Amino acid sequence: MANEFMADRVTSLKASAIREIFKMVGQSDIISLAGGNPSAEIFPKEILASLAEKILREEGTTALQYGVTEGYAPLRAKVKKDLKDKGILHDTDDALITSGGQQLIDLCAKTLINDGDVVAVEAPSFIGGLNCFRSYNGKLIGIDMEDDGMNLDRLEALAKKEKIKLVYTIPTFQNPTGITMSLEKRKRLLEMASIYDFYILEDNPYGALRFSGADIQTIKSMDDSGRVIYAGSFSKVISPGLRVGFGAARADIFDRMVVCKQVQDVHTPCLNQMLVNKFIEEYDFDAHIKKSIDMYKEKCAKMISCMDEYFPSFCTHTVPEGGIFLWCSLSGDYDTKKIMAECIEKKVAFVPGATAMVDIDKPCNQFRLNYSTPTLSDIEKGIFIISEVLKNVGK
Protein backbone atom coordinates (compact mmCIF):
# COMPACT_ATOMS: atom_id res chain seq x y z
CA MET A 1 0.00 0.00 0.00
CA ALA A 2 1.26 3.52 -0.77
CA ASN A 3 2.50 5.28 2.32
CA GLU A 4 2.69 8.94 1.22
CA PHE A 5 0.49 9.81 4.20
CA MET A 6 3.23 8.74 6.62
CA ALA A 7 5.82 11.13 8.04
CA ASP A 8 9.20 11.15 6.26
CA ARG A 9 10.96 10.32 9.50
CA VAL A 10 9.37 6.87 9.63
CA THR A 11 9.29 5.95 5.95
CA SER A 12 13.10 6.00 5.87
CA LEU A 13 13.30 3.43 8.66
CA LYS A 14 13.97 -0.15 7.62
CA ALA A 15 12.59 -3.11 9.53
CA SER A 16 15.31 -4.60 11.66
CA ALA A 17 16.90 -7.52 9.83
CA ILE A 18 17.55 -9.02 13.24
CA ARG A 19 13.82 -9.14 13.93
CA GLU A 20 13.29 -10.81 10.57
CA ILE A 21 15.94 -13.36 11.50
CA PHE A 22 14.24 -13.91 14.85
CA LYS A 23 11.01 -14.80 13.06
CA MET A 24 12.85 -17.61 11.23
CA VAL A 25 14.72 -18.64 14.34
CA GLY A 26 11.50 -18.88 16.32
CA GLN A 27 9.87 -21.04 13.68
CA SER A 28 12.38 -23.83 13.43
CA ASP A 29 15.14 -25.86 14.95
CA ILE A 30 17.76 -23.31 14.00
CA ILE A 31 20.77 -22.79 16.26
CA SER A 32 20.74 -19.07 16.87
CA LEU A 33 24.02 -17.24 17.25
CA ALA A 34 22.04 -14.18 16.16
CA GLY A 35 20.45 -13.17 19.44
CA GLY A 36 21.08 -10.08 21.50
CA ASN A 37 19.47 -11.35 24.67
CA PRO A 38 21.00 -12.11 28.03
CA SER A 39 20.80 -15.77 29.04
CA ALA A 40 17.33 -16.56 30.42
CA GLU A 41 18.99 -19.06 32.79
CA ILE A 42 20.15 -16.09 34.83
CA PHE A 43 16.71 -14.52 35.32
CA PRO A 44 15.87 -14.50 39.07
CA LYS A 45 12.33 -15.74 38.40
CA GLU A 46 11.47 -17.17 41.81
CA ILE A 47 12.88 -14.19 43.67
CA LEU A 48 11.02 -11.72 41.45
CA ALA A 49 7.80 -13.73 41.83
CA SER A 50 7.93 -13.49 45.61
CA LEU A 51 9.00 -9.84 45.53
CA ALA A 52 6.13 -8.99 43.17
CA GLU A 53 3.66 -10.58 45.55
CA LYS A 54 5.15 -8.78 48.53
CA ILE A 55 5.20 -5.41 46.75
CA LEU A 56 1.62 -5.72 45.54
CA ARG A 57 0.33 -6.78 48.97
CA GLU A 58 2.32 -4.30 51.04
CA GLU A 59 2.80 -1.33 48.70
CA GLY A 60 0.14 -2.02 46.10
CA THR A 61 -1.08 1.55 45.85
CA THR A 62 2.38 2.88 44.99
CA ALA A 63 2.92 0.05 42.51
CA LEU A 64 -0.39 0.59 40.75
CA GLN A 65 -0.76 4.38 40.93
CA TYR A 66 0.83 6.93 38.57
CA GLY A 67 4.44 7.61 39.51
CA VAL A 68 7.00 10.36 39.10
CA THR A 69 8.56 10.85 35.65
CA GLU A 70 12.12 11.06 36.99
CA GLY A 71 11.74 7.59 38.54
CA TYR A 72 10.59 5.72 41.66
CA ALA A 73 12.42 7.64 44.40
CA PRO A 74 14.15 4.73 46.25
CA LEU A 75 15.46 3.22 43.01
CA ARG A 76 16.49 6.59 41.63
CA ALA A 77 18.37 7.32 44.88
CA LYS A 78 20.24 4.01 44.59
CA VAL A 79 21.11 4.61 40.96
CA LYS A 80 22.30 8.13 41.73
CA LYS A 81 24.46 6.92 44.60
CA ASP A 82 26.01 4.22 42.43
CA LEU A 83 26.67 6.67 39.59
CA LYS A 84 28.16 9.14 42.07
CA ASP A 85 30.40 6.46 43.61
CA LYS A 86 31.65 5.64 40.11
CA GLY A 87 32.33 9.32 39.36
CA ILE A 88 29.70 9.31 36.60
CA LEU A 89 27.21 11.68 38.25
CA HIS A 90 28.74 15.11 38.78
CA ASP A 91 27.32 17.89 40.98
CA THR A 92 26.09 19.69 37.87
CA ASP A 93 24.24 16.55 36.65
CA ASP A 94 21.04 14.74 37.44
CA ALA A 95 19.85 11.19 36.74
CA LEU A 96 16.55 9.60 35.78
CA ILE A 97 15.07 6.14 35.45
CA THR A 98 14.02 5.24 31.92
CA SER A 99 12.13 2.47 30.17
CA GLY A 100 15.29 0.64 29.18
CA GLY A 101 18.52 2.17 27.96
CA GLN A 102 16.82 2.43 24.59
CA GLN A 103 14.56 5.19 25.88
CA LEU A 104 17.55 7.19 27.11
CA ILE A 105 19.00 7.08 23.58
CA ASP A 106 15.67 8.30 22.27
CA LEU A 107 15.38 11.08 24.87
CA CYS A 108 18.91 12.20 24.11
CA ALA A 109 18.23 12.29 20.36
CA LYS A 110 14.94 14.09 20.84
CA THR A 111 16.60 16.67 23.07
CA LEU A 112 19.68 17.34 20.93
CA ILE A 113 19.06 16.47 17.29
CA ASN A 114 17.55 18.88 14.78
CA ASP A 115 16.84 17.83 11.18
CA GLY A 116 20.12 17.24 9.35
CA ASP A 117 22.38 17.44 12.41
CA VAL A 118 25.45 15.25 12.01
CA VAL A 119 25.54 12.25 14.33
CA ALA A 120 28.86 10.39 14.14
CA VAL A 121 28.38 6.72 14.96
CA GLU A 122 30.68 3.75 15.26
CA ALA A 123 30.58 1.62 12.12
CA PRO A 124 29.20 -0.89 12.96
CA SER A 125 26.89 0.17 15.79
CA PHE A 126 23.74 -0.84 17.68
CA ILE A 127 20.79 -0.88 15.28
CA GLY A 128 18.39 0.49 17.93
CA GLY A 129 20.63 3.54 18.32
CA LEU A 130 21.04 4.02 14.57
CA ASN A 131 17.30 3.80 13.93
CA CYS A 132 16.66 6.24 16.73
CA PHE A 133 18.92 8.92 15.19
CA ARG A 134 17.42 8.17 11.78
CA SER A 135 13.94 8.78 13.18
CA TYR A 136 14.95 12.32 14.23
CA ASN A 137 16.37 12.98 10.74
CA GLY A 138 19.94 13.05 11.99
CA LYS A 139 22.60 12.78 9.30
CA LEU A 140 24.39 9.58 10.29
CA ILE A 141 28.07 9.27 9.45
CA GLY A 142 29.84 6.00 10.24
CA ILE A 143 33.36 6.02 11.70
CA ASP A 144 35.21 2.73 11.31
CA MET A 145 36.19 0.67 14.33
CA GLU A 146 39.74 -0.27 15.25
CA ASP A 147 40.84 -2.87 17.81
CA ASP A 148 40.85 -0.18 20.51
CA GLY A 149 37.63 1.55 19.50
CA MET A 150 36.43 4.19 17.06
CA ASN A 151 39.03 5.54 14.59
CA LEU A 152 39.53 9.00 16.08
CA ASP A 153 41.70 10.24 13.21
CA ARG A 154 38.71 9.70 10.95
CA LEU A 155 36.44 11.40 13.46
CA GLU A 156 38.77 14.38 13.62
CA ALA A 157 38.92 14.62 9.83
CA LEU A 158 35.12 14.66 9.82
CA ALA A 159 35.01 17.30 12.56
CA LYS A 160 37.26 19.54 10.48
CA LYS A 161 34.94 19.18 7.50
CA GLU A 162 31.47 19.18 9.04
CA LYS A 163 29.86 20.39 12.24
CA ILE A 164 29.27 17.29 14.39
CA LYS A 165 26.41 17.59 16.87
CA LEU A 166 26.68 14.24 18.64
CA VAL A 167 29.01 11.26 18.77
CA TYR A 168 27.24 8.03 19.71
CA THR A 169 29.59 5.47 21.24
CA ILE A 170 29.28 2.15 23.04
CA PRO A 171 32.82 2.17 24.42
CA THR A 172 32.67 -0.98 26.55
CA PHE A 173 32.04 -4.43 25.02
CA GLN A 174 30.42 -2.78 22.04
CA ASN A 175 27.35 -4.13 20.29
CA PRO A 176 28.02 -5.60 17.75
CA THR A 177 31.84 -5.98 17.85
CA GLY A 178 32.63 -6.69 21.51
CA ILE A 179 35.43 -4.08 21.22
CA THR A 180 36.37 -1.86 24.18
CA MET A 181 37.68 1.66 23.63
CA SER A 182 41.11 2.27 25.17
CA LEU A 183 41.62 4.84 27.93
CA GLU A 184 43.77 6.96 25.62
CA LYS A 185 41.00 7.11 23.05
CA ARG A 186 38.39 7.95 25.69
CA LYS A 187 40.52 10.89 26.79
CA ARG A 188 41.18 12.04 23.25
CA LEU A 189 37.49 11.80 22.37
CA LEU A 190 36.69 14.08 25.31
CA GLU A 191 39.33 16.57 24.23
CA MET A 192 37.93 16.56 20.72
CA ALA A 193 34.42 17.18 22.07
CA SER A 194 35.66 20.43 23.61
CA ILE A 195 37.75 21.48 20.62
CA TYR A 196 35.07 20.75 18.03
CA ASP A 197 32.10 21.52 20.25
CA PHE A 198 30.12 18.28 20.07
CA TYR A 199 28.25 16.12 22.60
CA ILE A 200 28.87 12.45 23.35
CA LEU A 201 26.28 9.80 24.15
CA GLU A 202 28.06 7.06 26.11
CA ASP A 203 25.85 3.98 25.93
CA ASN A 204 26.95 1.41 28.49
CA PRO A 205 24.51 -1.48 28.95
CA TYR A 206 27.23 -4.15 29.06
CA GLY A 207 29.86 -2.47 31.27
CA ALA A 208 29.19 -4.65 34.34
CA LEU A 209 29.77 -7.85 32.34
CA ARG A 210 33.57 -7.88 32.29
CA PHE A 211 35.12 -11.36 32.36
CA SER A 212 38.75 -10.52 31.61
CA GLY A 213 41.11 -7.54 31.64
CA ALA A 214 40.93 -4.48 33.87
CA ASP A 215 38.10 -1.97 34.15
CA ILE A 216 38.54 1.24 32.17
CA GLN A 217 37.07 4.52 33.40
CA THR A 218 33.85 5.57 31.73
CA ILE A 219 34.07 8.60 29.44
CA LYS A 220 31.41 10.35 31.52
CA SER A 221 33.46 10.00 34.72
CA MET A 222 36.35 11.89 33.10
CA ASP A 223 34.15 14.65 31.67
CA ASP A 224 34.21 18.02 33.36
CA SER A 225 32.69 19.90 30.44
CA GLY A 226 29.13 18.55 30.74
CA ARG A 227 29.26 17.21 27.19
CA VAL A 228 28.69 13.52 27.95
CA ILE A 229 25.24 11.97 28.35
CA TYR A 230 25.33 8.53 29.93
CA ALA A 231 22.95 5.60 29.34
CA GLY A 232 22.81 2.49 31.53
CA SER A 233 20.42 -0.43 31.90
CA PHE A 234 19.27 -3.28 34.13
CA SER A 235 18.34 -5.29 31.01
CA LYS A 236 21.52 -7.32 30.74
CA VAL A 237 22.04 -7.77 34.48
CA ILE A 238 18.49 -8.51 35.74
CA SER A 239 15.95 -8.75 32.91
CA PRO A 240 15.26 -6.90 29.65
CA GLY A 241 11.53 -7.60 29.90
CA LEU A 242 11.23 -5.35 32.95
CA ARG A 243 12.33 -2.41 30.76
CA VAL A 244 14.23 -0.51 33.44
CA GLY A 245 17.21 1.61 32.45
CA PHE A 246 18.69 4.91 33.56
CA GLY A 247 20.68 7.87 32.42
CA ALA A 248 22.65 10.86 33.63
CA ALA A 249 23.23 14.24 32.02
CA ARG A 250 23.98 17.87 32.76
CA ALA A 251 21.01 19.39 34.61
CA ASP A 252 19.72 21.48 31.66
CA ILE A 253 19.80 18.47 29.31
CA PHE A 254 18.28 16.28 32.04
CA ASP A 255 15.38 18.78 32.46
CA ARG A 256 14.51 18.60 28.76
CA MET A 257 14.79 14.80 28.75
CA VAL A 258 12.32 14.60 31.65
CA VAL A 259 9.79 16.71 29.70
CA CYS A 260 10.31 14.45 26.65
CA LYS A 261 9.79 11.35 28.80
CA GLN A 262 6.52 12.81 30.14
CA VAL A 263 5.31 12.94 26.54
CA GLN A 264 6.50 9.41 25.75
CA ASP A 265 5.31 7.25 28.63
CA VAL A 266 4.76 9.52 31.69
CA HIS A 267 6.99 7.20 33.71
CA THR A 268 8.55 3.74 33.67
CA PRO A 269 6.10 1.17 35.15
CA CYS A 270 6.19 1.53 38.95
CA LEU A 271 5.93 -2.18 39.68
CA ASN A 272 8.97 -2.92 37.50
CA GLN A 273 11.02 -0.17 39.12
CA MET A 274 9.99 -1.44 42.57
CA LEU A 275 11.01 -4.97 41.62
CA VAL A 276 14.45 -3.81 40.55
CA ASN A 277 14.74 -1.68 43.68
CA LYS A 278 13.83 -4.53 46.06
CA PHE A 279 16.01 -6.99 44.20
CA ILE A 280 19.04 -4.75 44.63
CA GLU A 281 18.10 -3.99 48.24
CA GLU A 282 17.43 -7.50 49.48
CA TYR A 283 19.74 -9.68 47.41
CA ASP A 284 23.42 -9.76 46.60
CA PHE A 285 23.37 -7.95 43.26
CA ASP A 286 27.11 -8.39 42.65
CA ALA A 287 26.83 -12.15 43.21
CA HIS A 288 23.91 -12.24 40.78
CA ILE A 289 25.90 -10.40 38.10
CA LYS A 290 28.85 -12.73 38.72
CA LYS A 291 26.70 -15.66 37.57
CA SER A 292 26.31 -14.03 34.16
CA ILE A 293 29.98 -13.11 34.01
CA ASP A 294 31.08 -16.68 34.75
CA MET A 295 28.67 -18.12 32.22
CA TYR A 296 29.57 -15.65 29.45
CA LYS A 297 33.28 -16.14 30.09
CA GLU A 298 32.94 -19.88 29.55
CA LYS A 299 30.72 -19.51 26.49
CA CYS A 300 32.92 -16.87 24.89
CA ALA A 301 36.02 -19.02 25.43
CA LYS A 302 34.19 -21.98 23.89
CA MET A 303 33.16 -19.96 20.85
CA ILE A 304 36.69 -18.64 20.34
CA SER A 305 38.29 -22.07 20.69
CA CYS A 306 35.80 -23.53 18.17
CA MET A 307 36.46 -20.67 15.75
CA ASP A 308 40.20 -21.13 16.12
CA GLU A 309 39.76 -24.83 15.41
CA TYR A 310 37.25 -24.75 12.54
CA PHE A 311 37.19 -21.35 10.81
CA PRO A 312 39.16 -20.90 7.57
CA SER A 313 42.09 -18.48 7.81
CA PHE A 314 40.31 -15.73 5.81
CA CYS A 315 37.89 -15.27 8.73
CA THR A 316 39.23 -13.32 11.72
CA HIS A 317 37.40 -12.34 14.89
CA THR A 318 37.54 -9.95 17.83
CA VAL A 319 38.36 -11.22 21.34
CA PRO A 320 35.98 -9.48 23.75
CA GLU A 321 36.78 -8.93 27.43
CA GLY A 322 33.12 -8.91 28.38
CA GLY A 323 29.58 -8.47 27.09
CA ILE A 324 27.77 -10.90 24.82
CA PHE A 325 29.02 -10.43 21.24
CA LEU A 326 31.98 -10.95 19.02
CA TRP A 327 32.55 -9.82 15.46
CA CYS A 328 33.93 -11.71 12.49
CA SER A 329 35.56 -10.26 9.39
CA LEU A 330 36.22 -12.04 6.10
CA SER A 331 39.10 -10.89 3.96
CA GLY A 332 37.71 -10.55 0.45
CA ASP A 333 34.58 -9.27 -1.27
CA TYR A 334 32.01 -11.42 0.50
CA ASP A 335 28.41 -10.51 1.27
CA THR A 336 27.51 -12.02 4.62
CA LYS A 337 23.77 -11.57 3.92
CA LYS A 338 24.16 -14.25 1.22
CA ILE A 339 26.32 -16.42 3.46
CA MET A 340 23.71 -16.04 6.17
CA ALA A 341 21.00 -17.36 3.81
CA GLU A 342 23.10 -20.49 3.23
CA CYS A 343 23.71 -20.91 6.93
CA ILE A 344 19.99 -20.63 7.66
CA GLU A 345 19.41 -23.53 5.26
CA LYS A 346 21.88 -25.52 7.34
CA LYS A 347 20.05 -24.43 10.50
CA VAL A 348 22.32 -21.85 12.03
CA ALA A 349 21.81 -18.08 12.22
CA PHE A 350 24.06 -15.07 12.77
CA VAL A 351 23.60 -11.35 12.16
CA PRO A 352 25.01 -10.06 8.87
CA GLY A 353 27.20 -7.01 9.41
CA ALA A 354 25.32 -4.71 7.00
CA THR A 355 22.40 -4.47 9.44
CA ALA A 356 24.65 -2.60 11.88
CA MET A 357 26.04 -0.14 9.34
CA VAL A 358 24.82 3.31 8.31
CA ASP A 359 24.30 2.06 4.75
CA ILE A 360 22.48 -1.19 5.35
CA ASP A 361 22.16 -1.97 1.63
CA LYS A 362 25.91 -2.04 0.96
CA PRO A 363 27.34 -5.58 0.90
CA CYS A 364 29.39 -6.23 4.01
CA ASN A 365 31.98 -8.95 4.65
CA GLN A 366 31.50 -9.00 8.43
CA PHE A 367 29.02 -10.59 10.83
CA ARG A 368 28.04 -10.67 14.51
CA LEU A 369 27.96 -13.72 16.75
CA ASN A 370 26.28 -13.95 20.13
CA TYR A 371 27.39 -16.37 22.82
CA SER A 372 25.12 -15.54 25.76
CA THR A 373 22.07 -17.56 24.69
CA PRO A 374 23.23 -20.74 22.89
CA THR A 375 24.35 -23.79 24.90
CA LEU A 376 28.00 -24.85 24.79
CA SER A 377 27.17 -27.72 22.48
CA ASP A 378 25.12 -25.48 20.16
CA ILE A 379 28.03 -23.05 20.06
CA GLU A 380 30.26 -25.87 18.82
CA LYS A 381 27.69 -27.16 16.29
CA GLY A 382 26.87 -23.66 15.06
CA ILE A 383 30.48 -22.61 14.59
CA PHE A 384 31.24 -25.88 12.81
CA ILE A 385 28.35 -25.37 10.36
CA ILE A 386 29.29 -21.74 9.66
CA SER A 387 32.89 -22.77 9.06
CA GLU A 388 31.81 -25.43 6.53
CA VAL A 389 29.75 -22.82 4.66
CA LEU A 390 32.64 -20.34 4.78
CA LYS A 391 35.11 -22.91 3.44
CA ASN A 392 32.72 -23.57 0.60
CA VAL A 393 32.19 -19.91 -0.36
CA GLY A 394 35.94 -19.32 0.00
CA LYS A 395 36.81 -21.93 -2.64
Ligand X SMILES: Cc1ncc(COP(=O)(O)O)c(C=O)c1O
Interacting residue ranges for ligand X, rule: CB under 6 A: 36, 100-102, 126, 128, 170, 175, 203, 205, 233, 235, 240, 245
CB of 342 to ligand X, least distance (A): 26
Closest approach of Cβ 195 to ligand X, in Å?
Answer: 26
Q: Which is nearer to ligand X, 372 or 390 (CB)?
A: 372
In the complex, what is the shortest distance from the CB of residue 169 to ligand X, in angstroms, rounded to a whole number?
10
Q: Considering only CA atoms, which of 131, 132, 77 is closest in space to residue 280?
A: 77
CA neighbours closer than 13 Å in the CB half-sphere of residue 230: 32
For β-strands 325-330 and 315-317, DSSP reports them as antiparallel
Please measure the distance between the N-terminal and C-terminal CA atoms of the chain and give it in whole angstroms.
Answer: 43
Compare residues 109 and 330 and give the one whose CB is closer to ligand X: 109
Q: Which is nearer to ligand X, 78 or 347 (CB)?
A: 78
- Closest to ligand X by CB, 37 vs 221, is 37
- Least distance (Å) from ligand X to the CB of residue 181? 13
Q: State which residue, 205 or 269, has the beta carbon closest to ligand X.
A: 205
Kind and range of the H or E run holding 18: helix 17-27
For 279, residues 6+ apart whose C-beta sits below 8 A from its C-beta are: 44, 47, 48, 51, 238, 285, 288
Specify whether the CB–CB gap between 373 and 240 falls below 8 A: no
Pick the closer one to ligand X by CB: 117 or 203: 203
Q: Exposure pattern of 112-121 as b/e (b: 16+ CB <10 Å)?
A: bbeeebbbbb
CB of 301 to ligand X, least distance (A): 22
Rounded to the nearest 10 degrees, what angle do helices 285-310 and 376-393 cross at? 30
For ligand X, which is the closer residue by CB, 239 or 336? 239
Spatial separation of the C-alpha atoms in residues 198 and 316, rounded to whole Å = 34
Give the residue closest to ligand X by C-beta. 100
Number of residues that make up the chain: 395
* Minimum distance from residue 104 beta carbon to ligand X (Å): 8
CB of 126 to ligand X, least distance (A): 4
